Structure 1
Amino acid sequence: MTSRRFRRLAALLIAFLPTNGLRRAAYRWALGYEIHPTARVDALSFISVARLVLGPGAHLERFNLFSGPLSLTVGARSSIASSNQIRCGIWTGAAAPSDHSARYQQRMVVGDGCRISPGHFFDANGEILIGDRCWIAGRGSQFWTHGASTPRSTVHIGADCFIGSACRFAPGAAIADNTVVSLGSVVTRSFSTPYRLLGGVPAKELRDIEEDITSKRLFAGRWTEASGV
Protein backbone atom coordinates (compact mmCIF):
# COMPACT_ATOMS: atom_id res chain seq x y z
CA MET A 1 0.00 0.00 0.00
CA THR A 2 2.77 2.42 0.94
CA SER A 3 4.64 1.69 -2.29
CA ARG A 4 1.49 2.24 -4.34
CA ARG A 5 0.82 5.56 -2.63
CA PHE A 6 4.43 6.66 -3.19
CA ARG A 7 4.22 5.82 -6.89
CA ARG A 8 0.97 7.74 -7.30
CA LEU A 9 2.37 10.76 -5.48
CA ALA A 10 5.58 10.63 -7.52
CA ALA A 11 3.59 10.40 -10.77
CA LEU A 12 1.52 13.42 -9.76
CA LEU A 13 4.58 15.53 -8.92
CA ILE A 14 6.46 14.54 -12.07
CA ALA A 15 3.50 15.63 -14.20
CA PHE A 16 4.19 19.24 -13.16
CA LEU A 17 7.93 19.30 -13.89
CA PRO A 18 8.72 22.07 -16.37
CA THR A 19 10.72 20.27 -19.09
CA ASN A 20 10.58 17.01 -20.99
CA GLY A 21 14.14 16.14 -19.96
CA LEU A 22 13.34 16.50 -16.26
CA ARG A 23 10.18 14.44 -16.61
CA ARG A 24 12.00 11.67 -18.46
CA ALA A 25 14.75 11.53 -15.84
CA ALA A 26 12.29 11.59 -12.93
CA TYR A 27 10.16 8.81 -14.43
CA ARG A 28 13.26 6.65 -14.86
CA TRP A 29 14.68 7.38 -11.42
CA ALA A 30 11.52 7.41 -9.27
CA LEU A 31 9.32 4.89 -11.08
CA GLY A 32 11.76 2.78 -13.08
CA TYR A 33 10.17 3.52 -16.45
CA GLU A 34 12.16 2.68 -19.60
CA ILE A 35 12.06 5.85 -21.72
CA HIS A 36 14.21 6.29 -24.80
CA PRO A 37 16.23 9.55 -24.87
CA THR A 38 14.33 10.68 -27.97
CA ALA A 39 10.88 9.95 -26.52
CA ARG A 40 8.72 12.82 -25.32
CA VAL A 41 6.33 12.96 -22.36
CA ASP A 42 4.34 16.18 -22.12
CA ALA A 43 3.38 17.77 -18.80
CA LEU A 44 0.06 17.37 -16.99
CA SER A 45 -0.49 13.69 -17.63
CA PHE A 46 -0.92 11.28 -14.71
CA ILE A 47 1.10 8.13 -15.48
CA SER A 48 1.18 5.63 -12.63
CA VAL A 49 1.58 2.10 -13.99
CA ALA A 50 3.64 -0.93 -13.04
CA ARG A 51 5.85 -0.70 -16.13
CA LEU A 52 6.20 1.81 -18.95
CA VAL A 53 8.38 1.40 -22.05
CA LEU A 54 8.60 4.24 -24.59
CA GLY A 55 10.46 3.56 -27.82
CA PRO A 56 12.50 6.01 -29.93
CA GLY A 57 10.47 9.03 -30.93
CA ALA A 58 7.38 8.00 -28.97
CA HIS A 59 5.22 10.88 -27.76
CA LEU A 60 2.67 11.05 -24.93
CA GLU A 61 0.69 14.29 -25.02
CA ARG A 62 -0.99 16.21 -22.17
CA PHE A 63 -3.95 15.35 -19.97
CA ASN A 64 -3.71 11.58 -20.28
CA LEU A 65 -4.56 9.21 -17.42
CA PHE A 66 -2.69 5.89 -17.34
CA SER A 67 -3.14 3.99 -14.08
CA GLY A 68 -3.06 0.58 -12.45
CA PRO A 69 -0.82 -2.49 -12.25
CA LEU A 70 -0.33 -2.83 -16.00
CA SER A 71 2.61 -2.98 -18.37
CA LEU A 72 2.35 -0.35 -21.14
CA THR A 73 4.64 -0.37 -24.17
CA VAL A 74 4.51 2.36 -26.81
CA GLY A 75 6.58 1.65 -29.90
CA ALA A 76 8.91 3.80 -31.95
CA ARG A 77 7.41 6.97 -33.46
CA SER A 78 4.00 6.24 -31.97
CA SER A 79 1.95 8.98 -30.37
CA ILE A 80 -0.91 9.03 -27.89
CA ALA A 81 -2.77 12.33 -28.06
CA SER A 82 -4.39 14.11 -25.12
CA SER A 83 -7.28 13.00 -22.89
CA ASN A 84 -6.90 9.26 -23.35
CA GLN A 85 -7.46 6.85 -20.48
CA ILE A 86 -5.67 3.53 -20.04
CA ARG A 87 -6.79 1.81 -16.84
CA CYS A 88 -6.18 -1.48 -15.04
CA GLY A 89 -7.93 -2.38 -11.79
CA ILE A 90 -5.97 -3.42 -8.72
CA TRP A 91 -8.49 -6.25 -8.31
CA THR A 92 -7.00 -8.03 -11.36
CA GLY A 93 -4.00 -9.02 -9.25
CA ALA A 94 -6.11 -10.88 -6.69
CA ALA A 95 -5.11 -14.51 -6.41
CA ALA A 96 -8.30 -15.92 -4.89
CA PRO A 97 -8.92 -19.36 -6.45
CA SER A 98 -12.65 -18.62 -6.71
CA ASP A 99 -12.23 -15.82 -9.26
CA HIS A 100 -10.80 -15.57 -12.77
CA SER A 101 -7.98 -13.15 -11.99
CA ALA A 102 -5.34 -15.45 -13.52
CA ARG A 103 -6.67 -14.68 -17.01
CA TYR A 104 -5.96 -10.94 -16.78
CA GLN A 105 -2.62 -10.22 -18.44
CA GLN A 106 -2.58 -6.52 -17.38
CA ARG A 107 -0.80 -5.52 -20.57
CA MET A 108 -1.15 -3.07 -23.44
CA VAL A 109 1.24 -2.86 -26.39
CA VAL A 110 1.10 -0.14 -29.03
CA GLY A 111 3.22 -1.00 -32.07
CA ASP A 112 5.54 1.22 -34.08
CA GLY A 113 4.27 4.20 -36.06
CA CYS A 114 0.81 4.31 -34.47
CA ARG A 115 -1.41 7.30 -33.83
CA ILE A 116 -4.06 7.36 -31.08
CA SER A 117 -6.24 10.45 -31.35
CA PRO A 118 -7.69 12.24 -28.29
CA GLY A 119 -10.43 11.00 -26.02
CA HIS A 120 -10.46 7.18 -26.10
CA PHE A 121 -10.76 4.61 -23.28
CA PHE A 122 -8.70 1.42 -22.93
CA ASP A 123 -9.65 -1.16 -20.31
CA ALA A 124 -6.23 -2.84 -19.93
CA ASN A 125 -7.16 -5.38 -17.28
CA GLY A 126 -6.54 -8.07 -19.86
CA GLU A 127 -4.38 -7.70 -22.96
CA ILE A 128 -4.69 -5.04 -25.67
CA LEU A 129 -2.37 -5.42 -28.65
CA ILE A 130 -2.31 -2.74 -31.36
CA GLY A 131 -0.23 -3.58 -34.44
CA ASP A 132 2.23 -1.35 -36.26
CA ARG A 133 1.05 1.74 -38.15
CA CYS A 134 -2.49 1.71 -36.77
CA TRP A 135 -4.66 4.79 -36.37
CA ILE A 136 -7.23 4.98 -33.58
CA ALA A 137 -9.00 8.00 -35.06
CA GLY A 138 -11.73 10.41 -34.00
CA ARG A 139 -12.93 10.34 -30.39
CA GLY A 140 -14.84 8.20 -27.95
CA SER A 141 -13.85 4.64 -28.85
CA GLN A 142 -13.72 2.04 -26.07
CA PHE A 143 -11.69 -1.16 -25.82
CA TRP A 144 -12.87 -3.64 -23.16
CA THR A 145 -11.04 -6.72 -21.87
CA HIS A 146 -13.38 -7.79 -19.08
CA GLY A 147 -17.08 -8.20 -18.51
CA ALA A 148 -19.66 -10.25 -16.66
CA SER A 149 -19.67 -13.95 -17.54
CA THR A 150 -17.07 -13.68 -20.32
CA PRO A 151 -13.96 -15.90 -20.22
CA ARG A 152 -12.20 -13.74 -22.82
CA SER A 153 -9.85 -10.94 -21.82
CA THR A 154 -8.06 -9.78 -24.96
CA VAL A 155 -8.48 -7.23 -27.74
CA HIS A 156 -6.12 -7.71 -30.70
CA ILE A 157 -5.78 -5.24 -33.58
CA GLY A 158 -3.62 -6.16 -36.55
CA ALA A 159 -1.15 -3.94 -38.37
CA ASP A 160 -2.15 -1.05 -40.66
CA CYS A 161 -5.67 -0.75 -39.29
CA PHE A 162 -7.93 2.30 -39.08
CA ILE A 163 -10.53 2.59 -36.29
CA GLY A 164 -13.19 5.28 -36.74
CA SER A 165 -14.84 7.38 -34.04
CA ALA A 166 -17.00 5.96 -31.25
CA CYS A 167 -16.25 2.29 -31.91
CA ARG A 168 -16.57 -0.40 -29.24
CA PHE A 169 -14.42 -3.52 -28.91
CA ALA A 170 -15.75 -6.29 -26.67
CA PRO A 171 -13.57 -8.80 -24.81
CA GLY A 172 -12.21 -11.33 -27.29
CA ALA A 173 -12.56 -9.02 -30.29
CA ALA A 174 -9.83 -9.16 -32.92
CA ILE A 175 -9.29 -7.75 -36.41
CA ALA A 176 -6.76 -8.74 -39.05
CA ASP A 177 -4.18 -6.55 -40.79
CA ASN A 178 -5.39 -3.74 -43.08
CA THR A 179 -8.86 -3.57 -41.57
CA VAL A 180 -11.01 -0.45 -41.46
CA VAL A 181 -13.69 -0.22 -38.76
CA SER A 182 -16.34 2.35 -39.60
CA LEU A 183 -17.74 4.97 -37.23
CA GLY A 184 -19.88 3.69 -34.36
CA SER A 185 -19.26 -0.01 -34.97
CA VAL A 186 -19.35 -2.61 -32.20
CA VAL A 187 -16.79 -5.40 -32.71
CA THR A 188 -17.81 -8.45 -30.69
CA ARG A 189 -15.83 -11.29 -32.28
CA SER A 190 -12.67 -12.18 -34.16
CA PHE A 191 -12.25 -11.27 -37.85
CA SER A 192 -9.30 -13.13 -39.39
CA THR A 193 -9.47 -11.98 -43.03
CA PRO A 194 -7.33 -8.92 -43.89
CA TYR A 195 -8.35 -6.01 -46.14
CA ARG A 196 -11.92 -5.77 -44.93
CA LEU A 197 -14.26 -2.90 -44.12
CA LEU A 198 -16.22 -3.67 -40.95
CA GLY A 199 -19.32 -1.86 -39.80
CA GLY A 200 -22.56 -2.15 -37.87
CA VAL A 201 -23.87 -3.28 -34.50
CA PRO A 202 -22.61 -5.92 -34.14
CA ALA A 203 -19.91 -5.35 -36.74
CA LYS A 204 -19.83 -7.52 -39.84
CA GLU A 205 -17.76 -7.59 -43.02
CA LEU A 206 -19.10 -5.04 -45.51
CA ARG A 207 -16.66 -5.41 -48.38
CA ASP A 208 -13.12 -6.14 -49.55
CA ILE A 209 -10.91 -3.02 -49.59
CA GLU A 210 -7.56 -4.45 -50.77
CA GLU A 211 -7.73 -2.71 -54.14
CA ASP A 212 -8.71 0.58 -52.47
CA ILE A 213 -5.71 0.45 -50.14
CA THR A 214 -3.11 -0.79 -52.63
CA SER A 215 -4.20 1.78 -55.23
CA LYS A 216 -4.18 4.48 -52.50
CA ARG A 217 -7.79 5.44 -53.18
CA LEU A 218 -8.32 4.89 -49.45
CA PHE A 219 -6.47 7.12 -46.97
CA ALA A 220 -4.46 8.94 -49.67
CA GLY A 221 -1.78 11.02 -47.88
CA ARG A 222 -3.22 10.71 -44.40
CA TRP A 223 -2.04 7.14 -43.94
CA THR A 224 1.66 8.04 -44.15
CA GLU A 225 1.17 10.90 -41.73
CA ALA A 226 -0.47 8.61 -39.18
CA SER A 227 2.17 5.90 -39.53
CA GLY A 228 5.13 8.23 -39.09
CA VAL A 229 6.79 6.92 -42.25
Structure 2
Amino acid sequence: MMTLLKLFSIFLPWKLKRLFLIKFFSYQIHPSARIKFSWIFPKMLIMQEGSEIDHFNTAIHLDEIKMEKYSVIGRGNWITGFTTYEKSSHFKHQAIRKSSLLLGESSAITKNHHLDCTSPITIGRFTTIAGYNSQLLTHSIDLIENRQDSHPISIGDYAFVGTNVVILGDATLPSYSVLGAKSLLNRSFQQPYTLYGGVPAKPIKNILENAKYFHRTEGFVY
Protein backbone atom coordinates (compact mmCIF):
# COMPACT_ATOMS: atom_id res chain seq x y z
CA MET A 1 0.00 0.00 0.00
CA MET A 2 2.74 2.46 0.92
CA THR A 3 4.61 1.79 -2.32
CA LEU A 4 1.45 2.51 -4.31
CA LEU A 5 1.01 5.81 -2.45
CA LYS A 6 4.58 6.76 -3.29
CA LEU A 7 4.15 5.88 -6.97
CA PHE A 8 0.92 7.85 -7.11
CA SER A 9 2.47 10.91 -5.50
CA ILE A 10 5.40 11.39 -7.90
CA PHE A 11 3.05 12.01 -10.84
CA LEU A 12 0.96 14.66 -9.08
CA PRO A 13 1.31 18.38 -9.89
CA TRP A 14 3.54 19.93 -7.25
CA LYS A 15 0.86 21.81 -5.32
CA LEU A 16 -1.15 18.62 -4.89
CA LYS A 17 1.94 16.52 -4.29
CA ARG A 18 3.08 18.80 -1.47
CA LEU A 19 -0.27 18.47 0.30
CA PHE A 20 -0.27 14.71 -0.31
CA LEU A 21 3.21 14.30 1.21
CA ILE A 22 2.26 16.38 4.24
CA LYS A 23 -0.96 14.43 4.84
CA PHE A 24 0.21 10.85 4.23
CA PHE A 25 3.90 11.05 5.19
CA SER A 26 3.83 13.87 7.80
CA TYR A 27 6.57 15.74 5.95
CA GLN A 28 7.24 19.40 6.74
CA ILE A 29 7.45 21.28 3.44
CA HIS A 30 7.33 25.07 3.17
CA PRO A 31 4.89 26.41 0.54
CA SER A 32 7.80 27.88 -1.45
CA ALA A 33 9.85 24.65 -1.40
CA ARG A 34 9.68 22.25 -4.35
CA ILE A 35 10.41 18.65 -5.36
CA LYS A 36 10.54 17.93 -9.07
CA PHE A 37 10.33 14.45 -10.65
CA SER A 38 12.29 12.48 -8.04
CA TRP A 39 11.86 9.53 -5.68
CA ILE A 40 12.32 11.21 -2.26
CA PHE A 41 11.06 9.13 0.65
CA PRO A 42 13.06 9.36 3.89
CA LYS A 43 11.26 8.67 7.16
CA MET A 44 11.13 12.44 7.75
CA LEU A 45 11.59 15.25 5.26
CA ILE A 46 11.91 18.89 6.31
CA MET A 47 12.18 21.50 3.55
CA GLN A 48 12.40 25.12 4.58
CA GLU A 49 11.68 28.26 2.56
CA GLY A 50 12.93 28.21 -1.04
CA SER A 51 14.61 24.80 -0.84
CA GLU A 52 14.46 22.62 -3.94
CA ILE A 53 15.10 19.07 -5.14
CA ASP A 54 15.59 18.79 -8.90
CA HIS A 55 14.71 15.93 -11.29
CA PHE A 56 15.83 12.28 -11.16
CA ASN A 57 17.06 12.08 -7.58
CA THR A 58 16.63 9.04 -5.34
CA ALA A 59 16.62 9.38 -1.54
CA ILE A 60 15.62 6.26 0.41
CA HIS A 61 16.43 4.29 3.59
CA LEU A 62 17.05 7.46 5.60
CA ASP A 63 15.77 8.61 8.97
CA GLU A 64 15.73 12.26 7.94
CA ILE A 65 16.57 14.81 5.29
CA LYS A 66 16.53 18.43 6.45
CA MET A 67 17.02 21.22 3.95
CA GLU A 68 17.37 24.71 5.36
CA LYS A 69 16.40 27.90 3.50
CA TYR A 70 17.33 28.08 -0.20
CA SER A 71 19.35 24.86 -0.16
CA VAL A 72 19.35 22.87 -3.39
CA ILE A 73 19.84 19.27 -4.49
CA GLY A 74 20.56 19.17 -8.22
CA ARG A 75 19.84 16.39 -10.74
CA GLY A 76 20.52 12.70 -10.64
CA ASN A 77 21.89 12.22 -7.13
CA TRP A 78 21.68 8.94 -5.21
CA ILE A 79 21.15 9.54 -1.48
CA THR A 80 20.72 6.54 0.76
CA GLY A 81 21.69 5.00 4.08
CA PHE A 82 20.57 2.42 6.61
CA THR A 83 17.68 3.53 8.77
CA THR A 84 17.50 3.05 12.52
CA TYR A 85 13.83 2.03 12.48
CA GLU A 86 14.40 -1.28 10.63
CA LYS A 87 15.04 -4.41 12.69
CA SER A 88 18.54 -5.56 11.85
CA SER A 89 21.73 -6.73 13.51
CA HIS A 90 23.71 -4.22 11.42
CA PHE A 91 25.04 -1.27 13.43
CA LYS A 92 23.47 -2.51 16.68
CA HIS A 93 26.65 -1.38 18.48
CA GLN A 94 25.88 2.22 17.44
CA ALA A 95 22.88 2.94 19.64
CA ILE A 96 22.73 6.69 18.94
CA ARG A 97 23.42 6.52 15.21
CA LYS A 98 21.07 8.44 12.91
CA SER A 99 20.82 8.07 9.14
CA SER A 100 20.43 11.67 8.05
CA LEU A 101 21.36 14.43 5.63
CA LEU A 102 21.40 18.06 6.76
CA LEU A 103 21.86 20.82 4.18
CA GLY A 104 22.55 24.25 5.62
CA GLU A 105 21.11 27.52 4.33
CA SER A 106 21.91 28.23 0.65
CA SER A 107 24.06 25.11 0.31
CA ALA A 108 24.04 23.07 -2.91
CA ILE A 109 24.68 19.54 -4.10
CA THR A 110 25.08 19.70 -7.87
CA LYS A 111 24.41 16.47 -9.82
CA ASN A 112 25.31 12.81 -10.20
CA HIS A 113 26.78 12.40 -6.73
CA HIS A 114 26.41 9.47 -4.30
CA LEU A 115 25.81 10.20 -0.63
CA ASP A 116 25.76 7.29 1.83
CA CYS A 117 24.12 8.74 4.93
CA THR A 118 24.21 5.66 7.18
CA SER A 119 25.64 8.06 9.75
CA PRO A 120 24.88 11.79 9.48
CA ILE A 121 26.25 13.91 6.66
CA THR A 122 26.18 17.58 7.59
CA ILE A 123 26.81 20.23 4.93
CA GLY A 124 27.15 23.79 6.19
CA ARG A 125 25.74 27.12 5.06
CA PHE A 126 26.65 28.45 1.59
CA THR A 127 28.67 25.31 0.82
CA THR A 128 28.85 23.72 -2.64
CA ILE A 129 29.30 20.03 -3.45
CA ALA A 130 30.38 20.83 -6.99
CA GLY A 131 31.00 19.01 -10.25
CA TYR A 132 30.05 15.36 -10.77
CA ASN A 133 30.55 11.83 -9.45
CA SER A 134 31.69 12.52 -5.89
CA GLN A 135 31.13 9.90 -3.19
CA LEU A 136 30.44 10.75 0.45
CA LEU A 137 30.57 7.42 2.29
CA THR A 138 29.85 7.15 6.00
CA HIS A 139 29.53 3.36 5.95
CA SER A 140 32.25 0.72 5.74
CA ILE A 141 33.37 -2.53 7.42
CA ASP A 142 35.33 -2.65 10.66
CA LEU A 143 37.92 -5.31 9.83
CA ILE A 144 39.15 -5.64 13.42
CA GLU A 145 35.67 -6.32 14.84
CA ASN A 146 34.32 -7.94 11.63
CA ARG A 147 31.13 -5.88 11.56
CA GLN A 148 29.36 -3.11 9.70
CA ASP A 149 30.39 0.31 10.95
CA SER A 150 29.68 3.95 10.18
CA HIS A 151 30.93 7.40 11.12
CA PRO A 152 29.62 10.90 10.32
CA ILE A 153 30.93 13.34 7.74
CA SER A 154 31.02 17.07 8.46
CA ILE A 155 31.55 19.83 5.90
CA GLY A 156 31.64 23.38 7.24
CA ASP A 157 30.17 26.70 6.11
CA TYR A 158 31.26 28.41 2.88
CA ALA A 159 33.27 25.37 1.81
CA PHE A 160 33.81 24.21 -1.78
CA VAL A 161 34.10 20.52 -2.65
CA GLY A 162 35.59 19.89 -6.09
CA THR A 163 34.48 17.33 -8.67
CA ASN A 164 34.94 13.56 -8.39
CA VAL A 165 36.17 13.39 -4.79
CA VAL A 166 35.77 10.70 -2.12
CA ILE A 167 34.97 11.69 1.48
CA LEU A 168 34.95 8.94 4.10
CA GLY A 169 33.38 8.62 7.55
CA ASP A 170 34.98 10.61 10.38
CA ALA A 171 36.25 13.19 7.87
CA THR A 172 35.80 16.92 8.43
CA LEU A 173 36.31 19.68 5.87
CA PRO A 174 36.44 22.95 7.82
CA SER A 175 34.52 26.11 7.03
CA TYR A 176 36.01 28.53 4.47
CA SER A 177 38.07 25.86 2.76
CA VAL A 178 38.34 23.98 -0.53
CA LEU A 179 38.73 20.28 -1.30
CA GLY A 180 40.45 19.90 -4.68
CA ALA A 181 39.13 17.74 -7.52
CA LYS A 182 39.75 13.96 -7.34
CA SER A 183 40.90 14.13 -3.72
CA LEU A 184 40.37 11.58 -0.96
CA LEU A 185 39.39 13.13 2.37
CA ASN A 186 39.72 10.49 5.10
CA ARG A 187 40.51 12.48 8.23
CA SER A 188 39.43 15.57 10.13
CA PHE A 189 41.00 18.97 9.40
CA GLN A 190 40.32 22.19 11.29
CA GLN A 191 42.26 25.00 9.57
CA PRO A 192 40.01 27.37 7.54
CA TYR A 193 41.00 29.34 4.44
CA THR A 194 42.97 26.38 3.16
CA LEU A 195 43.08 24.34 -0.04
CA TYR A 196 43.18 20.62 0.75
CA GLY A 197 43.93 18.06 -1.94
CA GLY A 198 45.57 14.81 -2.90
CA VAL A 199 45.19 11.10 -2.10
CA PRO A 200 44.91 11.22 0.83
CA ALA A 201 44.11 14.92 1.15
CA LYS A 202 46.45 17.24 3.01
CA PRO A 203 46.83 21.03 3.32
CA ILE A 204 48.32 22.47 0.12
CA LYS A 205 48.15 26.25 0.46
CA ASN A 206 46.35 29.10 2.15
CA ILE A 207 43.45 30.91 0.48
CA LEU A 208 42.86 34.66 0.84
CA GLU A 209 40.30 35.39 3.54
CA ASN A 210 38.78 38.15 1.40
CA ALA A 211 37.97 35.74 -1.45
CA LYS A 212 34.45 36.74 -2.55
CA TYR A 213 33.14 33.14 -2.44
CA PHE A 214 33.53 33.23 1.35
CA HIS A 215 31.36 36.34 1.69
CA ARG A 216 28.37 35.46 -0.52
CA THR A 217 24.86 36.44 0.51
CA GLU A 218 23.30 34.28 -2.22
CA GLY A 219 23.98 30.58 -2.65
CA PHE A 220 24.07 30.49 -6.45
CA VAL A 221 27.32 31.63 -8.05
CA TYR A 222 26.71 33.54 -11.30
Using the size of structure 1 for normalisation, the TM-score is 0.86
Q: Report what 1:40 is aligned to.
A: 34
Query: How many pairs does the alignment contain?
Result: 217
Distance in 2 between residues matched to 1:98 and 1:14, nearest whole Å: 32
1:28 counterpart = 2:22: yes
Q: Report what 1:189 is aligned to.
A: 187
Q: Report what 2:210 is aligned to.
A: 214
Deviations 1:103-122 (A, max 9, x none): 53111100000111011111
Distance in 1 between residues matched to 2:102 and 2:188, nearest whole Å: 18
**Are 2:122 and 2:153, in contact at CA under 8 Å, matched by a contact in 1?**
yes
User: By how many angstroms is 1:189 displaced?
Assistant: 0.2
**Are 1:134 and 1:227, in contact at CA under 8 Å, matched by a contact in 2?**
no
The alpha-carbon distance between structure 1 residues 215 and 139, as it changes in their structure 2 partners (threshold 3 A), is closer
Q: Report what 2:9 is aligned to.
A: 14
Distance in 2 between residues matched to 1:62 and 1:11, nearest whole Å: 16
**Are 2:70 and 2:219, in contact at CA under 8 Å, matched by a contact in 1?**
no
Distance in 2 between residues matched to 1:164 and 1:105, nearest whole Å: 27
User: By how many angstroms is 1:171 displaced?
Assistant: 0.8
**Are 2:66 and 2:103, in contact at CA under 8 Å, matched by a contact in 1?**
yes
5 Å-filtered alignment, 1:65-80, equals: 65-80=58-73
- Counterpart pick for 1:129 among 122, 126, 139: 122
User: By how many angstroms is 1:178 displaced?
Assistant: 0.6
Q: Report what 1:141 is aligned to.
A: 134
**Are 2:63 and 2:84, in contact at CA under 8 Å, matched by a contact in 1?**
no
Distance in 2 between residues matched to 1:10 and 1:131, nearest whole Å: 33
**Are 2:84 and 2:99, in contact at CA under 8 Å, matched by a contact in 1?**
no
Distance in 2 between residues matched to 1:195 and 1:67, nearest whole Å: 35
Distance in 1 between residues matched to 2:83 and 2:188, nearest whole Å: 28
The alpha-carbon distance between structure 1 residues 30 and 142, as it changes in their structure 2 partners (threshold 3 A), is same
- Counterpart pick for 2:199 among 198, 201, 205: 201
Using the size of structure 2 for normalisation, the TM-score is 0.89
Distance in 1 between residues matched to 2:85 and 2:186, nearest whole Å: 22
Q: Describe the SS at the equivalent of 1:37.
A: coil
**Are 1:55 and 1:76, in contact at CA under 8 Å, matched by a contact in 2?**
yes
Q: Which moved more, 1:178-187 or 1:88-97?
A: 88-97
User: By how many angstroms is 1:89 displaced?
Assistant: 2.4
Q: Report what 2:177 is aligned to.
A: 179
What residue ranges of structure 1 are gaps of 5+ in the alignment? none
Q: Report what 2:146 is aligned to.
A: none
What residue ranges of structure 2 are gaps of 5+ in the alignment? 144-148
Letter in 2 for 1:36: H
Instruction: Among all aligned residue pairs of Structure 1 and Structure 2, give the percentage whose two residues are the same amino acid.
Output: 28
